[in-house]
Amino acid sequence: MPRYDPHPDRRPALVTGASSGIGAATARALSALGHPVVLTARRTDRLDALAAELVADGGEAVALPLDLADPASIDRCAAAAGDALGPLDVVVANAGQIASATALADDPDDFARNVHVNLLGTQRLAARLGPAMVERGHGDLVFVTSDVVVRPRTHMASYVAAKAGLEGLARAMQMELEGTGVRCGMVRPGPSSTEQGTDWSEETVLHIIPTWERWGHLRHNGALLPQNVAAAIVAMVSAPKGTHLTLVEVQPEAPVTPNRSHR
């Protein structure tokens, strides 16, 4: 079969977790560059609104429901995505879920569900969409991980375990895909201003923060905006042929202290 070489200005992309935060910002950034975007998440009302926004701005976008904890939902989404806007050339696996529980206190069923959302569901989606990219000899798979992989935090055991597994999966995939024309990269954000964790109670936050301070995780109160991380994702998939950005770590810059001098 002849190798598929898509036009650089039109690379159909699928983004998970596109209903808010980094996923929505990534969808907007890709659409602004002329790439059709398949928006996926559980909150379909938000997806529909974003798809309408992108189309109104002259882009191509469709919304598809996706629950990464449900294998049947993943399979349906993968089957529909391939026909929605043309052969997919970019897959951004961004969706994630954070639960505030320690390794020993977390209910095993809740732990398993979080690992499903953050790792197992992503692997299933990649397994459904990646082979067609390999067959065409072109494409980008991007996994949005987290700096908890290298700087684990307490009370986030399932998230830490799943994101560490996701980076292991990506590194194995990078070796397996070498020479196929399909690139696999990781974007590893630090603290970000998204909706993740916003459902935690004030009591939970006040309990956890001192442990993070004890381990040196709160050097400053800077946080990445979703578009900051989206810019790194776009840079990764836009790297020229012959270039493979395997890992990009993005950290928030500390707020500038007025009149501060370095001695």
> What is the set of active-site residues?
159
Cβ-based burial of 242 (10 A; exposed 0-12, middle 13-18, buried ≥19)? exposed
DSSP 148: G
Reduced to 3 states, what is the DSSP secondary structure of residue 41?
strand
The residue type found at 190 is G
Instruction: Give me the residues paired with residue 39 across strands.
Output: 15, 63
* Residue 78 to residue 76: CA distance in whole angstroms: 6
Alpha helix stretches (DSSP H) within the chain = 21-32, 44-56, 71-84, 108-115, 121-136, 157-177, 202-214, 226-238
Between CA 97 and CA 116 the distance in angstroms is: 10
Q: What length is written for the chain? A: 263
Cβ-proximal residues to 163 (8 Å cutoff; 6+ apart), any chain: 96, 118, 119, 145, 146, 148, 149
